[in-house]
Structure 1
Amino acid sequence: SWYFLRFCSARDERAFSREAVDYWMPVDQYIGGVEHAVLHLLYSRFFTRALKQCGYLELKEPFAGLFTQGMVCHQTYRSEDGEWLFPEEVERTDDSRLVDPDGRPVIVGRTEKMSKSKKNVVGLDAIVDTYGADTARLYLLSDSPPERDLEWTETGIEGIWRYVNRLWRMVSEPPVPLAAPGHPIPAALSPAVAASRRATHKTIAAVTDDLDKFRFNRAVARIRELTNTLEELPFSEAGAPAVLREGLETLARLLGPMMPHLAEEMWQTLGGEGLLAEQPWPVANPQLTRDEQVTIAIQVNGKLRGTLELPRDADNLAVEEAAMALPQVLRWLEGRPPRKVIVVPNRIVNLVA
């Protein structure tokens, strides 16, 4: 229950080095399932507080952060005589009935935490043989928030498998010859190509933030959105080959921690230098993460009456004029000029009648 103190000075002849503990502790992040974490946290905190009261530590709490992940769950099945059945022992007939290997009806139970005793487990070897380890990883990360339970389904992992193959085709058979590695992005891009490049840098910023906050499912969703955006890139327009390369290289880097094998293959196929695992994490260009257009709420007497899409940082007078020209605003003003106009740049215009 105090192993974390020993880890600070594992080769010390004493139980632990006070100097090393003062330097390294507390543990920045504790991750554990709820059943394990509750008891272990209790013991660890007890020992830490006891050692502090006895004068061996200055530390009061052993862990600075706690994250309790959910469990992987699966439906349970029983035979007519009450015996638990493995999922692979359950077959679906042509008329959608579930039967055991002997053709007898199967009783479908609750979806519960995977348990050997209830046989609602899925063999990892079979999953890896069928879909690959990277597909299994991405499915576990993408299906639900990590603090919630995940229900394992064949449909879910097959969806990820299709995405993985689609992504690999984009890299191995790009729809247009890519720009050479390291080729600079042209200064002049068409609006559609420029929007795709902004999407790449927005994804870098968002995924970085999601990973820092353990929002793995949201990170995967953003990566898939970027994949869709790159597939819809107007490949014949100026700058598209360079922007597509930047986007595909970004996908490889962002997927590195989640799908290390596929990401490394993507990186090598794209002509990346060295190993992907040795590359720095991508950094978003802040100028490209800002939307050129913003949605401004138009209010009359504090109540929303419409919205406007305008260039970011537009002149206040131009924003007022655009707001005053909205038909619904004119109707609520009843032909009278507003007594006061309040403009919150890039956000709100409030017309006080």
Structure 2
Amino acid sequence: FFVHLTLLPRLSSTDELKTKPTQHSVKELRAIGIQPDAIVARADGPLPDGVRRKIARFCDVPMENVIEDPDLDSIYAAPLVLHDQGLDDRISCRLGLPAVQPDLSAWTERLARLRNPTREVQIGIVGKYVELEDSYISIREALIHAGIANDARVEMLWIPAEAVARDGPEKHLEGIDGLLVPGGFGDRGIEGKVEAISYVRKRKIPFFGICLGLQCAVIEFARDRLGLPQANSSEFDPHTPDPVIDLLPDQADVRDKGGTMRLGEYETVLKNGTRAYDCYRADRIRERHRHRYEFNPAYREAFEAAGMVVSGTSPDGRLVEIIELPDHPWYVGVQFHPEFTSRFLFPHPLFSGFVEACLRRRDSSSSS
């Protein structure tokens, strides 16, 4: 069963939906031996019957298999729109599958909570590529999922890390309920991220660091709490006297960058009684990784003596996967990418916990 998704542009001069691009794309598909069984037409509004008939006639599909996919207030409404037009039933029928009425109550309930939240929270995201929000689309969607789980709308403030370094953190972070520093590569904007993390750590504002965000948190903590003012990652400063983030010794001689990249899903062992353990409610988890540099284990004892808790490690205990500050309302850094596994119906527990902590801060600020 071939479903062809196509765009119907609207010609502004005549206020008319144009079907010619759809006809042409179907012609090209036929040239390689593919005849669409259904056409899902993206448009800025509902399809008039005349347009639907025209597509059916010129593209040789039944009129009932021309499915409209109009602009919606949320992408998560799209499955319900397609279901209401019977697309799932037609696919099942054609493939000889039993006709089963899906239970969409959970999806519908989540969508209602997305559209009508009872609370609101403001989270700053300090990154390198924030001018294009889609650079962090997985982060954005994971925060939306977590907001729904907490019956809240998450307002995201996209803050360039270089602006924080230039103007100081207070100008950009004052009034936020939480800070998230996402992953990335390269040294541009690093000092702005470090300053932002220092700002929220000292003011007890919830913080969530992901991949590079964890590494920046480690650098900030080393400089301020361990008395190592030149602490850095050897990625950013190869000559730093205190490489608290570094390549592991067995990676140092690998010349091919891909050879040092830790890619894919790996297991993490969690420490009981920590915030990470409370979120996952499990002893072991599996998460996706994409990084090259690691927390330097030579400094682990000093960090723990200064109050930082390593709440997640690789099964052999060699690699630090999660860090926390127990005397902070929410201060968690992870070396992996939890945003990749968050889903509309199943928000990631770390994101849900982070948003919950941000809401607690907002509630306490409002009542004080």
> Which category of TM-score, normalised to the shorter sequence, fits these structures?
under 0.3
The TM-score, its normalising length taken from structure 1, stands at: 0.27
Give the structure with the larger strand fraction. Answer: 2
Bigger Rg over Cα:
1
Q: What is the TM-score when the length of structure 2 is the normalising length?
A: 0.26
